[in-house]
Amino acid sequence: MSVRSPVKTLRTGGLLSAAWLVLLLLGSLTAGWWEPYQTDAQDPAHTLASPSGSHLLGTDDLGRDVLTRIAAGSWISVGPALLAVVVAFGIGIPLALAAAEHGRLVERGSSRFAELLLALPSMVILLAFVGAVGVHPWAIMTVLGVLLSAPVYRVFLSQAQSLRTRLYVDAARVNGVSSVQVNLRHVLPAMATTIAVQAAQLFAIGVLIEAGLAFMGFGPSVPSPSWGGLIAAASQHIYDDPWLMVPTGVVLALTVIAANVLADTVLVSMGGGQRERGRASAARRATRRPARIPAGARGADGIASAEREVAPDGAAGTGELLGVAGANGGAASALAEMPGGPGGLLDVRDLTVSVDGGPSLVTGVSFGMRPGTVLGLVGESGCGKTMTALALLGLLPEGVAVTGGSIGFGDPPGDIRDLTALTVRELRAIRGREIALISQEPMVALDPMFSVGYQLTQPIRRFRSAGGHRTSRAQARRIAAELLGQVGIVDAKRVLRSYPHQLSGGMAQRVCIALALTGSPKLLVADEPTTALDVTVQAEILSLLRSLVAARGLSVIIVSHDLGVIADLADEVAVMYAGQIVESGTVASVLSQPSHPYTTALLGANPHVAEGLPVPERLASIPGTVPAAADWTTGCRFASRCALATEACAAPVPLTRAHDAGTESGTESGTATGNATGGTGTVRCIHPLRTGVSPQPLPVPHTMEPGAAS
Amino acid sequence: MLTYLARRLAFAIATVLAASVVSFLLVHASGSTPGEITAGSGASPAQVAAENLRLGWDRPLVAQYLSWLGGAVRGNLGVSLIDGHNIWSDLMSRLPVTASIAIFATLLSGILGVAIGVAAAVRGGLLDRAVTVGSGVALSLPQFWVGILLVYLIAIKAHLLPATGYVAFGASPGQYLQSLALPVITLTVTGAAIIARTTRTGMISALRQEHIRTLHALGTPPWRIRYIHALRFAGAPVVSVLGIQFIALFGGSVVIEQLYALPGLGQAASAAIGTNDLPAVQGVVIIATVVVVITNLVLDLVLGALDPKVRTA
């Protein structure tokens, strides 16, 4: 049985709910025309009757038709709740807008007022009000509206505050639009989702409270058949006619359920949901941009060895893809040129990572690594660097998975495991112990709820069990302090006692590195480890990583968009663009003699690149953006942004030995000037650049699509 | 932390004072006077006026309020207009009933709700959807209606539990628990649904946090990730909602106590309102507010203990 998507189910539920509420409203407004009986018409011969043809829902203790009474009571049961919503919004929203607009002073006053309202026992206040003024449903619900304005105020204040800081709202104000108009035109419409959700939820609360009051006898006076009153009357006959409880209760419950479902539907379909949202947007992305794969792309695979796309139906299974990889003769030749070569510590072949039922984010990436070396993965955001790195640890985000290729890990000739084939349990044994991760944002990478000491000693006790029994707490703490010392933290004792929010960014990243070292891993995957840090701290962290590599013989994969970082730390580099490696080799050769136009462009965009490197123009930006994964072509994916692109670039481009590949199409000026490292690198370009050639003009795209990737 | 507590305490006192003013004003704005009640329904206007004079109703509002407040802080809320009983001692004798229901229902909602919410978030799939739908329905059901259905099914049909009434713990602990069972179950249906939703949402977002990925990257066992790290992270909103529920149960016990004929604060409230027993209404409001305020203070402390950011500030 296939399970329908939760979003779809919810949408159906939302429609049904809206239909029910509309039916209810119409039914109550037109009750006079269709009701089969007078609201108070008694029929002594048929009291407490079960449902029948003449009385669809039966009759009550006086022989009155239940259906008629429910319909007649619907407005008095539901209307006051609507009034409560209107009052709550009427007070809460303007107050929130004013507080957001006029800043601290007004905000303080109104927030205290709201807090006070929230702290009052609302049911008791309502009852006290009933005691004081008597039973007037509309008046009572007005008071409820006042009480509910406090939560409304709170919700909208935080939203209004964040909305007001948005650029377009600011722009409107600078342009002299009056504050009332700014609110009406920009702030309120942006709040529409919240207003709809809150309205539905408050309405549900209002209906329940109104019914509760009526049940206790504080509702509309007796002849008027409110639902709460009907249920109270029915409860008198619980022994002799329990059925009487059912119709009114179900109608009341359905109304409240409908309001709540409607709120959930609006929330989820407007993108405020939780789990549903992730899937929905992934699905939306996939449908909006169907993978454009030219017919026969697979046939051309003989050349495009490493180029593999997901089958158009998105159902490409791993097995099928692996089969393709096996038949791919071209891959091996390219692999031989990979940094590190095959058979090192790490041997990634033809790695493909895809969104479930969507496009591939990494396509046919291959690289290798020797122990004790540092490999840099570099490229703009959206090029698949991080996905490649996370795939090594089996830590791809929800909805993204490895769909092809292999990741060989281990010291040859010892046992080499394919990490993509491991079970979750087997992977867990590798994580931390053999491969560890340092992530981009140290401040959120640590658990805010636990002290640094706890977070360090936990894995230490797990990883470093001496002779079968776990490391003692005290011992683990000593090791933790030692590790902190090794990552350059001086007052380890204090840091162990601290919580993450008490640390600076640089300090937190040091702690994260210490955490990654707890299992003495062979390979460290560092995903943009310095991006979130200040420039001076960046340098410190980089030098720390460098010293760790030297002292411990660690291998490191460093992911960065910053060629400066790569130049500083890495031995080898793989430049990634749009899910592929476009150029690789030793750092010295790639950075000093870039072959791929993209590498050159990256160098040009980097402010930290040393003088003397062949940079076409300092601090130039690369025109255009990385195309979205669904738009990747089988030809050169950089072609749309490349000044050198020709029609030939539309055909699949294989990875070839750098500085060789160009010779066939060597119509460009000059032949390869003696480059010592020529044999070690690879490039994916049919007319690679030459070093020694006068700097290329800035690549100006001849088919530039502004905002091609959204 | 200390200044934080002092601020919360000051606000708590302000809240109680505000509630006392509100209830005082409501009583005086109602148009009915205590004399009308004490003098009886057949009394002449002169007799009513004399009664009002005796009860001090003619004094300036501020003076009346201050003398009421002076009594209230010493635990004297006056006497009932109906039966002359001391309101304070009457409410104090009812407090255990309401407190029992509220505490048991909160505990049970918390345990069930967290268990269900965590299971839904961790397992996902069909279970998750069943929990989402089920809790959505459960929290939409009117409690009094659920209560009557339970009375019908469990007390009348199955004879498993007494339908109504209350037995004090001192009299018979076993019967005490039996008499509380149905009201507590009734309240737990809604309560557990709300807690389950909050827990589920919190757990799902917690499991997506970056620090959880750090734990995965260290090969941390899944149970530790879920039940120590993610649950702790998701804990704050769950505790807040539990506190709100406790408050709602205290205030909302009115309906349940009427339904199950339990002699609690809620029953006192509806009786006082039904009979226009003005000082009793005031007393109930003030006691309910004090309970709310104390709950909020405890909540602040618990949240502080949960969140190191608050604790170490």
Buried/exposed code over A575-597 (b: 16+ C-beta within 10 A; e: otherwise) = bbbbbbbbbbbbbebbbbbbbbb
Residues from chain A contacting residue B23 (CB–CB below 8 Å) = 125, 128
Q: What is the predicted pLDDT for the residue at B212?
A: 92
Q: What is the predicted pLDDT for the residue at B131?
A: 92
Asked if A256's CB is within 8 angstroms of B145's CB, the reply is no
Q: What is the predicted pLDDT for the residue at B112?
A: 96
Task: Take residue B66 and report the two structure tokens written for it.
Answer: 């201050």
Q: What is the predicted pLDDT for the residue at A223?
A: 65
Chain A residue with Cα closest to B144: A212
- Chain length of chain B: 313
**How confident is the model over B196-203, as a mean pLDDT?**
91
Chain B residue with Cα closest to A524: B217
Residue A591 CA to residue A278 CA, distance in Å, equals: 39
Q: What is the predicted pLDDT for the residue at A552?
A: 86
Interface of A with B in 427-446 (CB under 8 A): 428-433, 436-437, 439, 441, 444-446
What type of residue is B172? S
Residue A693 CA to residue A113 CA, distance in Å, equals: 73
Interface of B with A in 51-110 (CB under 8 A): none
Interface of B with A in 105-164 (CB under 8 A): 124-126, 128-129, 132, 136-137, 139-145, 148-149, 151-152, 156
Pairing relationship of beta strands A555-560 and A523-527 according to DSSP bridges: parallel
Interface test with B, best of A124, A135, A456 (most B CBs within 10 A): A124
Residue A26 CA to residue A24 CA, distance in Å, equals: 6
Place of tokens 């013989």: A553
What type of residue is A12? T
Neighbouring CB atoms inside 10 A of A277's CB total 16
Asked if B209's CB is within 8 angstroms of A459's CB, the reply is no
Residues from chain A contacting residue B29 (CB–CB below 8 Å) = 132-133
Q: What is the predicted pLDDT for the residue at B115?
A: 95
Q: Which of B304, B178, B291 is nearest to B236 (CA)?
A: B304
**How confident is the model over B146-162, as a mean pLDDT?**
85
Neighbouring CB atoms inside 10 A of A622's CB total 20
Higher pLDDT, B233 or A278: B233
- Interface A–B counts its CB contacts (< 8 A) at 226
Q: What is the predicted pLDDT for the residue at B72?
A: 85
Nearest to A431 among B208, B218, B309 (CB): B218
Instruction: Determine contact: B11 vs chain A, CB below 8 A.
Output: yes
Neighbouring CB atoms inside 10 A of A1's CB total 4
Asked if A131's CB is within 8 angstroms of B273's CB, the reply is yes
What is the nearest CA distance from A397 to chain B, expressed in angstroms?
9
Residue A147 CA to residue A137 CA, distance in Å, equals: 15
Split at pLDDT 50, 70, 90, the class of B213 is very high
Asked if A249's CB is within 8 angstroms of B145's CB, the reply is yes
Q: Are A49 and A290 in contact (CB under 8 A)?
A: no
Asked if A261's CB is within 8 angstroms of B255's CB, the reply is no
What is the nearest CA distance from B252 to chain A, expressed in angstroms?
6
Chain A residue with Cα closest to B12: A119
**Please, which residues have CB within 8 angstroms of residue A310's CB and are 6 or more apart in sequence?**
A291, A316, A354, A358, A359, A360, A403
Instruction: Determine contact: A217 vs chain B, CB below 8 A.
Output: yes
Residues from chain B contacting residue A121 (CB–CB below 8 Å) = 19, 247, 250-251, 285, 288-289, 291-292
Asked if B15's CB is within 8 angstroms of A459's CB, the reply is no
Q: Are A262 and A13 in contact (CB under 8 A)?
A: no
Strand partners, A353: A362, A402
Chain A residue with Cα closest to B22: A125
Residue B166 CA to residue B179 CA, distance in Å, equals: 5
Residues from chain A contacting residue B247 (CB–CB below 8 Å) = 121
What is the nearest CA distance from B14 to chain A, expressed in angstroms?
8
Strand partners, A378: A560, A575
Instruction: Determine contact: A448 vs chain B, CB below 8 A.
Output: yes
- State whether residue B209 is helix, strand or coil: coil
Residues from chain A contacting residue B248 (CB–CB below 8 Å) = 123
Q: What is the predicted pLDDT for the residue at A659?
A: 56
Residues from chain B contacting residue A218 (CB–CB below 8 Å) = 270, 273
**How confident is the model over B41-69, as a mean pLDDT?**
82
Residue A210 CA to residue B142 CA, distance in Å, equals: 10
A401 phi, psi to nearest 5 deg = -150, 160
Nearest to A121 among B129, B145, B247 (CB): B247
Q: What is the predicted pLDDT for the residue at A412?
A: 63
Residue A229 CA to residue A210 CA, distance in Å, equals: 10
Nearest to B211 among A257, A446, A451 (CB): A446
Interface of A with B in 334-393 (CB under 8 A): 393
What is the nearest CA distance from A186 to chain B, expressed in angstroms?
30
Instruction: Determine contact: B302 vs chain A, CB below 8 A.
Output: no
Residues from chain B contacting residue A522 (CB–CB below 8 Å) = none
Residue B194 CA to residue B196 CA, distance in Å, equals: 5
Chain B residue with Cα closest to A461: B220
Pairing relationship of beta strands A682-683 and A346-355 according to DSSP bridges: unpaired
Contacts by A656-659, CB closer than 8 A, 24 or more apart = A656/A334, A656/A337, A656/A682, A656/A683, A656/A684, A657/A337, A657/A681, A657/A682, A657/A683, A658/A583, A658/A585, A658/A589, A658/A595, A658/A682, A658/A683, A658/A688, A659/A593, A659/A595, A659/A683, A659/A688, A659/A690
Q: Are A521 and A432 in contact (CB under 8 A)?
A: yes
Chain B residue with Cα closest to A253: B141
Instruction: Determine contact: A261 vs chain B, CB below 8 A.
Output: yes
Instruction: Determine contact: A419 vs chain B, CB below 8 A.
Output: no
Q: What is the predicted pLDDT for the residue at B130?
A: 92
Task: Take residue A466 and report the two structure tokens written for it.
Answer: 């001496």
A554 phi, psi to nearest 5 deg = -70, 145
DSSP string, A113-130: HHHHHHHS-HHHHHHHHH
- Name the superfamily (CATH) of residues B93-311: MetI-like (1.10.3720.10)
Q: Are A334 and A385 in contact (CB under 8 A)?
A: no
Whether B218 has a pLDDT exceeding 90, the answer reads: yes
Q: Where are the domains of chain B?
A: 2-73, 93-311
Interface of B with A in 219-278 (CB under 8 A): 219-221, 224, 229, 232-233, 247-248, 250-252, 254-255, 258-259, 269-270, 272-274, 276, 278
Dihedral over Cα of A462, A468, A470, A472: its sign = negative
**Mean pLDDT score across all residues of chain A:** 75
DSSP H or E run through A348: strand A346-355
**Please, which residues have CB within 8 angstroms of residue A366's CB and are 6 or more apart in sequence?**
A306, A331, A334, A335, A338, A348, A349, A350, A351, A405, A581
Residues from chain B contacting residue A259 (CB–CB below 8 Å) = 140
Asked if B26's CB is within 8 angstroms of A131's CB, the reply is yes
Residue B92 CA to residue B81 CA, distance in Å, equals: 18
Asked if B19's CB is within 8 angstroms of A431's CB, the reply is no
Nearest to B29 among A122, A132, A211 (CB): A132
Task: Take residue A219 and report the two structure tokens written for it.
Answer: 């509702």
Low-confidence ranges of chain A (pLDDT < 70): 1-7, 9, 34, 36, 39, 164-169, 173, 176, 222-223, 270-343, 412-414, 466-468, 606-621, 658-680, 690-710
Task: Take residue A568 and report the two structure tokens written for it.
Answer: 């500083």
What is the nearest CA distance from A369 to chain B, expressed in angstroms?
20
Interface test with B, best of A21, A120, A213 (most B CBs within 10 A): A120
Q: What is the predicted pLDDT for the residue at B215?
A: 94
Buried/exposed code over A218-234 (b: 16+ C-beta within 10 A; e: otherwise) = bbbeeebbbbbbbbbbb
Residues from chain A contacting residue B281 (CB–CB below 8 Å) = 127-128, 131-132
Instruction: Determine contact: A168 vs chain B, CB below 8 A.
Output: no
Q: Are A369 and A345 in contact (CB under 8 A)?
A: yes
H helices present in B74-86, as ranges? none
Sheet containing A656-657: give its strands across: A435-438, A523-527, A555-560, A374-378, A572-577, A580-586, A682-683, A656-657
Task: Take residue A208 and report the two structure tokens written for it.
Answer: 């329940």
Is the whole-model pTM more than 0.90?
Answer: no
Buried/exposed code over B31-47 (b: 16+ C-beta within 10 A; e: otherwise) = eebbbbbbbeeebeeee
Interface of A with B in 465-504 (CB under 8 A): 499, 501-502
